[in-house]
Each structure stands twice: as C-alpha cells, then as structure tokens.
Chain A
Amino acid sequence: MDAFLADPSVFSGVWAGMAAVCSLKLWLLVLSGVFLGMTVGVLPGFGPPAAMALLFPLVYVLEPLPGISLLSGIFYGAKYGGAVTSILMGIPGEADAVATLFEGHPLALGGKARQALAAATLASFTGGMLSSLGMVLLAPVLSRAALFFGPAGRAAVMACALLLVAFTSPGGARRSLCMILLGLVLALPGMAPVYGTARLTFGFWQLSEGVELTSLLLGMFGIGDLLAALLSDHEKKTEHAFAPVPPLKRLSAFAAALRGSILGFLTGLIPCGAGVTASFASHALEKRLSRHPEQFGNGAWEGLAGPEASNNAAAMASFAPLLLLGLPTNPIMAALLGALTIVGVVPGPSLPESQPDFYWGLIVCLVMGNVLLLALGLGLAGFWAYLARLPFRLLWPVILLLCLTGSYVGADGISGPVQCLFFGLLSVLLRRNGCSPAPLVLAFVLGPKLETHLLQALLSVW
C-alpha cells in the first residue's frame, strides 16, 4: 500500500486515462459492447467468445482504446447476461452462470424474478468495481514483480498456464492436452518467430501468413456453437415459461457479494477457467457461512449474490495478467491478446509507463462499463425476457452470415470464410468427442509467444 501511495505515476496515470476517455464515441462503443454482451449472454447457445469474434474485425478499423473497450464490454456484459437466462428460464447462458441458477431460478419461480435480476445486477456491479479497484492497486506490484521474469521465466509461466488449463478444463486432462497441442500445431504455419522463415505452408501461399485468428474464433465459437445447438434439441429448450417480474425490495446479500468479489478477484488472476471455479466456490462458501443453509437450493439471496459477484470479479481480474504480463487466463483474454497485437499494444510490465493513455484509459472504461451494466441491467429486465423467447430459427441465419462476413473481413479474402467453415466443422467434431475448443484457442494465441520466449532462452544459454 505504501508503494502505491508513494507512487505518483498511478495518480498521473489515472488522470491521463480519464483524459483519454473524454469522447462520446468511446462511451457509445462501451455502451454498445456492454449491451451486446448482455444480449449474447441472454441468448442460450451463443456465448461471449462468438460475440467477440463477430466484432473482432472492428479492431482493424477502430483506434486501440475504443476497439479493445468494445470487446471488453462484451466480455463482462455477457457474464451478467448469462445470469438472466439462468434466473428467468433455468438455462445458464454460459458455464459461469450455472451456480447462479441454483438460487436464481427458484427465486423466479417464487414470483421474485425482478428482485433476483436486480440482486444479480447489483452483485455483478459490486464484483466488477472492487475488482477494478484491485487492478489499480495491484498494477505497480505486478509490474515490479514481472521485471524479474526473463524469457525462460515467461516461457515457464506460459507452459504452466497451459498445463493448468489442461488439468482444469472440461473433458479431462488427456483430451485437453490434445487440444492444447493441436492449438500449438495450428499456430505453426506461416513465418517462424525469431528466424522469420516460412514453414508448413505446404505450397499454399494463403498459409504464408498462417491460420487467421478471426476465422478460428468465428469458426470455433460462432459456427461451432450454432452447429452444436442445431445438433441438439436446442429449439425445445428455449420454449419455457418465464416468471412475471415483481418490483425490487431486497438487498440483503451485500456481504455475500463482498466475499464473492474477493474470491473472484483472486481466482481471476490465475489461468484455470476462473469464472466457473469462482462462482461454484462462492456458492459453497456462502452455504458454509449461512445461518440457514437449508434455504440453499430454494432461493437463498446469499447464494445468488456471491456467485454473481465472484463471476464478474474474476472477469475483471483476468485483465490484470493479460495487460501486465501478456498472459491470457482464459480464451476470451486470448482473443483480446490477439486484438492487442493487431492494434499495436504490447502487453507487459512496462505498459502503464509506455502507454499510460491506453492502460489507464482501459481501466477507466472498465469501471464506467460496470456503471453502464448496472443501469442497463436494472432497466432492461423485461427486454431480456422477450429476447430469450425469440425462436432460434430466426437467430441462427443472422449469426451464420455475421460469421462469414466477419471472417472475410478478418482475412481480407475468401480464405477467411473457408477457414471459418473448416473450424466450425472441427469444433463439432471436437465437441462430439468430449473435447472443449477453449484450450485449443488459448494455445493458438499463446503458441507463437511461447516459442519465441523458449527460443530466446535456449539461444541465450546455447
């Protein structure tokens, strides 16, 4: 704490960040990102990776801070959006919202749907704000600690991160290891790092720049999610009755939200599917601490607020290792790392000093995005209920054409949509075999950097 208070660069950095975000266009983009993220989170079967992938091509045309803020807004907006379907329909919009379902849906069935949505919104807001504060306080500490990492240390951290993801991802360690290695191999074609020679192009000039990240993301999560939903009986699952929305009355789970925020922040810093881990851990903690544990499973407010706060706190905290260490802790952060590379922002311990406008501007955007999330969440509960009831047959053609157009823009040619379709079919094959595509994407983004650090380390001692 003394280091933070004695460090004038933090205050000047925050001031620079606030100056950087004085733009109506930026706020509209943040608002759009949060709204789109919440919308995507509400739609069952369509997760935030797909929404981020759809808007990924915008990174090429927007300036760095607005582009990254837009994608970030989708991320934490979707964390809240997933809770909406969990509470209203008993269908988790994404994996992180499963723990929310345990208490949120019984509350909705008991006629307290709007209260439950409001509690989830306030809990998400609490988690996001406290986590953002943690990032501000942690930045000098993490920056100084990261300076001790050379190429060998960075390579070791990345390898450990991939192994940790392998052992904590759904499907088991062997399947996840296969996915990670497949991701590393997919990242090989094109120019070799350090040496700059072409490799594994098999005579195709289209592979000279490697597999395109946008096409991979859109294929794996856009078309892949779509095909997976069509292969299951997805349409039937959306036709559930939803509870009416009575007015808000209760805010008794603030302490649970605080505990969840701290838990989520700490787990968000490490790479192991933090949102899911944090939300389940928070639910278990609240049940352990509650004076009335028998209420859990029947609509306990603490069991709703804690997981929601931890979920959003973990989402915010995952920005810290990404920005300060260049280490993505989940596939969404991996996509953001790709976006940062495209816009020319080099994440690392020197980022707060070398690009203070961007770094502190992004933190201010994260804070204000949480405020917007609070306003939208409290104001749009009825709208989410309507959107979640739209027939899936009207939504998936839109998703499909957005994926194809986006992949065309990303690759600036027909190879993009071809790769997108290939990865969509690959995603189906992987899911049919119990493999999650998330470790593959993480490894794809980390692979070139891991190879670079490893080669640098070996060359320094050879």
Chain B
Amino acid sequence: MSSFRTSVFRHALRALLLAAGAAALLDSPPVLSSGLPGPGLWPRLSGALLLLCAVLLPSKEPDERSCTSSSLRRALGPVLSCLLWIVLLQPAGWLPATFLSALLACRTGGCSMKESLLVCLLLSAALWLGMEKLLRYSLPQGTLFVLACGV
C-alpha cells in the first residue's frame, strides 16, 4: 500500500510539472511582437525547459517509515479545517468560520474538548482584536450576519 502511495506521489509531481510546462508553452502570447522579442518569449522558454526537466526528474526511493495511514489521517485534519474555513468565510463571516475551523482542527489533532474550546476562544479573540482594532482591517462579517441585521 505504501509503495502504491509513493508511486502516486511520484507520478502526480511529474504530471503536475508536465501540465505546468505545457500550459506555459501553449497558452502564451506570441514569441515575437512586431519583429521584436515579445511577452511570449520568456513563458515559452520557461515552459519548454520545465517540460524537459520534468521528463528528466529522478525518482525518489520509497521511504517505508513515512506516509502511513495514521499519519495521513493526522494530516487530513488541517486540510478539512482549511476547507471548512474557506466554505464558511463568506456566508457565516470570519469569526464563526475561524472558531469552528479551529475547533475542528483541535479535535482532529487530539485535543480534549476543554483544550479545544480554550484554544479556539483565545485564538479567535486575539486575532480579531489584532486585525480589527490594532491593524484596523475589516474582517468579513458574512452574508448571513448582514441579512440578519437587515431583517
């Protein structure tokens, strides 16, 4: 199973590099503009070199100690928290999104409910004070909050 994962990682990187190189090569403006070097010269050069290097990318020996099922589950916590934050930010606003995402992150990270609530409350409060009051940056209030206030 771990060798399958390693193979997936290896091929995914090569595919990504090939896709990036192909995009730069194919979707760029023309190389010459009125007979002079144009805005497409550098992208096509970079893209072509990236395609070449992607083909020559060496394979890494699989590390049996890394990327176990338990470590993948541990790493899933931050990813889900990020996705939750991104999904909630505009409808619910920054404060609820941050609190709920931090709560999910703490719980998936192995914190007790008490620890999780403490970290979430302190983090949300400190960040909100720092951004809104200290730096005077308006954090999104959320569509639902605005609608509720309007009602």
Contacts and interface: CB of A to CB of B under 8 A. Distances in A.
Given A393-B109, A429-B9, A181 B135 contact: no
Nearest to A425: B79
Interface in B46-60: 46-47, 49-50, 53-54, 56-58, 60
A433 B13 contact: yes
Contacts of B85: 401, 404, 417
Nearest to B128: A405
A433 B24 contact: no
A350 to B, nearest CB: 26
Interface string A217-241: 0000001001100111100000000
B52 to A, nearest CB: 9
Contacts, number: 180
A192 B39 contact: yes
Contacts of B33: 195
Interface string A171-195: 0101101100110111010001011
Given A232-B66, A401-B101, A402-B127, A181 B89 contact: no
Given A231-B67, A434-B60, A455-B41, 10 more contacts: A185-B24, A185-B47, A199-B27, A199-B29, A202-B23, A404-B82, A405-B131, A405-B139, A424-B78, A455-B42
User: What interface size band does chain A fall in?
Assistant: 35 or more
User: What interface size band does chain B fall in?
Assistant: 35 or more
A178 B82 contact: no
Interface of B: 6, 9-10, 12-13, 16-17, 20-21, 23-24, 27-29, 33, 36-43, 46-47, 49-50, 53-54, 56-58, 60, 66-67, 71-72, 74-75, 77-79, 81-83, 85-86, 89-90, 94, 98, 101-102, 105-106, 109-111, 115, 119-120, 123, 127, 131, 135-137, 139
B115 A394 contact: yes
Given A185-B50, A202-B27, A414-B89, A396 B105 contact: yes
Contacts of A386: none
A396 B40 CA distance: 42
A400 interface: yes
B81 A174 contact: no
The B interface, classified by DSSP as helix, strand, loop or mixed, is helix
A408 interface: yes
Interface of A: 58, 61, 172, 174-175, 177-178, 181-182, 184-186, 188, 192, 194-195, 197, 199-200, 202, 223, 226-227, 230-233, 393-394, 396-398, 400-402, 404-405, 408-409, 414, 417-418, 420-421, 424-426, 428-430, 432-435, 447, 451, 454-455, 458-459, 462
The A interface, classified by DSSP as helix, strand, loop or mixed, is helix
Contact of A397 (B13, B29, B81, B86): B81
B82 A185 contact: no
B59 to A, nearest CB: 8
